[in-house]
Structure formats: structure tokens, C-alpha cells
A and B are shown apart, each in its own frame.
Chain A
Amino acid sequence: MTSAAPAIIQPGTPVPDFTLRRGDGSEFTRADLAGNTTVLVFYPFAFSPVCTDQLNVYDEVLDDLHAAGATMYGVSCDATYSQTAFQERLGVRIEQLSDFEPKGETCRAFGVYHPSGFPQRALIIVGPDGVVSWSYQAASPGELPGANLIFDALAASAGANIA
């Protein structure tokens, strides 16, 4: 049996129901996205060096992201405690959301669960209406998507809303 990964959720698709855990253990669900532009950064593992670079650079442009009206979250299947330690180790402000139990359920719902048991490296932007406005999956977990791609997508969404 082949275990081909499903496709990442596509623009125009309403966000499915999901439950993630914040650092304090509380739930983060679809309702938390309403009214905001949200950037979800799915990454394979806490503490892997590649993720470190990616989140560090995104953190450096976080003020620009906020100025563009967006809020960013990191998502992985690591436990909440691991994510908190990871965030503190990196010194980044990006809030982390855990997809630990049932493991990978949210990643599956967004079509970014790697067959080997971790999130694909992927970016998903959800508009204030709860609909996916952009999604991007790296060609491999080792590829780091630049922050420029996020700003391109936000600008395109803003342009589409104006038009």
C-alpha cells in the first residue's frame, strides 16, 4: 500500500474544525481565527536546526506582519511543554500550538501531515472570514520558505479584497 500524502488545503476552502493546544493547555480552535488574518506555520519538529532558522527569521519580521494585520502561530506535533521550551530557547515571540493528541489530527485536516508522522513544512493563511486565502507546502521538509512569500500572499489577498 502506498502512503501518498494528501494535498495541502487549497485557497477558497473554509477551515475545517480543529483543536490545537496553546502553551497554557487551553484549546485553540477555528473560532479563534474568526475576524483575524492568521498565518499558520507548520514545522516538522521542535529543536531541529532548520526550524530554528525559519522561526527566528519570521520573528524578526513579526512587527511587519502585525502591521500587515496578521497574527502568526507555529504548529507542530510536539507536546506543549516541548514547544514552550523550544520557543524559550529560540527567544521568539511566535505563539506555538500543539497538535499532539490525537497526534496530527489538525495537520491531517489541513492536508499537511507527512506519512512519516510529522507536519510537512507548510504555510497556511486564513482570512478573517475563516477561509484559506493561501497555502504553501515546501518541496521537502528541509526547504525553508522565505518570509517574502508570506508578504506576497498577504498583499495579494489585500489586493483581491480591494478589487
Chain B
Amino acid sequence: MSELRSAPVPPLSPDDHQRGPAHGPVAIEYGDFECPYCAALSAQLAQLELRHAFRHFPVRSSHPRAFAAACAAEAAARQGRFWEMHDLLYADQGRLEDPHLWERAERLRLDLERFEADRRSASVQERVRGDFRSGVRAGVVTTPTVFVAGRIYAGRFDVGLLAPAEATDRRRSS
């Protein structure tokens, strides 16, 4: 039998794409580059003093280009530019066809041949599927879903739900 039984959300690991302060609260997000609520959340999380880890949760039937976009982000990661691609994908979710992905890769000055080979590679696709399956096992059903300090926040996310002790708003502290 395939392995999709319940399991705790995997803890933060060096393999995760992550940014923000090395110490302090951690938000592990399961997101989809075609999901508008995920884009909104991403912008909100960027304002907070917390470590943000991103895992892929593309649902192809509702978002046909989500899987391709996730693979593009992973291919960019192979050239050290995951977060740049992440931000560019969210910045223009109406343009996620292949030529639009190539445009972004060019803007990031990626090696295009390598980008193209990587995003179609079995290892990149397996990475995306692995993230998705870890989310399913942890009970993720919708995007965005965020795990903070062992709590799960699903759907439209209000960062105000985070306790003040868990995250500091950069706008207020600056």
C-alpha cells in the first residue's frame, strides 16, 4: 500500500527552502504558486521576524500550472535562486505558462538550458511530490496551510493570529 498514512509535519530541515532570522519562530508553509491566498500570505510573512520555510502543495485539478510553477522554483533553487523565483511567481500569477517561466529565468540570469532540463527532471518533480505527500500526511487539505509552533493554520491566513511572542512585525520594530 502506498504510504500516505498520517504522520507529523516534518520538522525544519536543511533541505527546506527557508529565509528569515536563523533563530526564533518558524513558519512552515505548504503553498501553491497559483493560489492567490498563498501570494497574499507570502507578502504578509515577509513583514514578520520569523523563519519562513516553503513547501510545495500544488493541486493540479484546481490550479493547472501550479505543478509546473513549483518545478520552475525548484529548478531555480538548483542555481541558488529559489526565493527570487518564488517572489517572481507570486508577483504575477496570471502568467505561468512556459514562456513566462523562461522570462523569469532570464530575468534571474539563470543558465536557461540547465533550468529547462532541471525543471523537467525526475528529481525535481520528485522533490515537489515529496513536499506534497508530506503535507497530505500531516493533514493539509487546502492552501495555504501554515504550521507554527506545532499549530496548524489552514486556508485564508491572518498573520494577526500569530501570538506576538511568536513573531515581531518588522514594520513596527523598524
Chain A interface residues toward B at CB < 8 A: 52-54, 56-57, 59-61, 64, 67-68, 90-92, 144-149, 151-152, 154-155, 158
- Taking Cβ atoms with an 8 Å cutoff, the residues of B that contact A are 1-2, 4-7, 59-62, 64, 132, 136-142, 154
B61 contacts A91, C-beta separation under 8 Å = yes
Residues of A within 8 A of B60 (CB): 60, 91
Given A52-B62, A60-B60, A155 and B136 contact (CB-CB distance below 8 Å)? no
24 cross-chain CB contacts under 8 A: A52-B62, A56-B59, A57-B141, A57-B142, A60-B59, A60-B61, A60-B132, A64-B4, A91-B60, A144-B142, A146-B138, A146-B140, A147-B4, A147-B141, A148-B4, A148-B5, A148-B6, A148-B7, A148-B137, A149-B139, A151-B2, A151-B4, A151-B6, A158-B1
Query: Measured between C-beta atoms, what is the minimum distance from A52 to chain B in Å?
Result: 7
Contact present for A154 and B62 (CB under 8 Å)? no
Please state if B62 and A68 are interface contacts (CB–CB under 8 Å). Answer: no
B1 touches A67 (CB 8 A): yes
In the assembly, what is the distance between CA of A56 and CA of B59, in Å? 7
Q: How far is the CA of A92 from the CA of B61 in the complex (A)?
A: 6
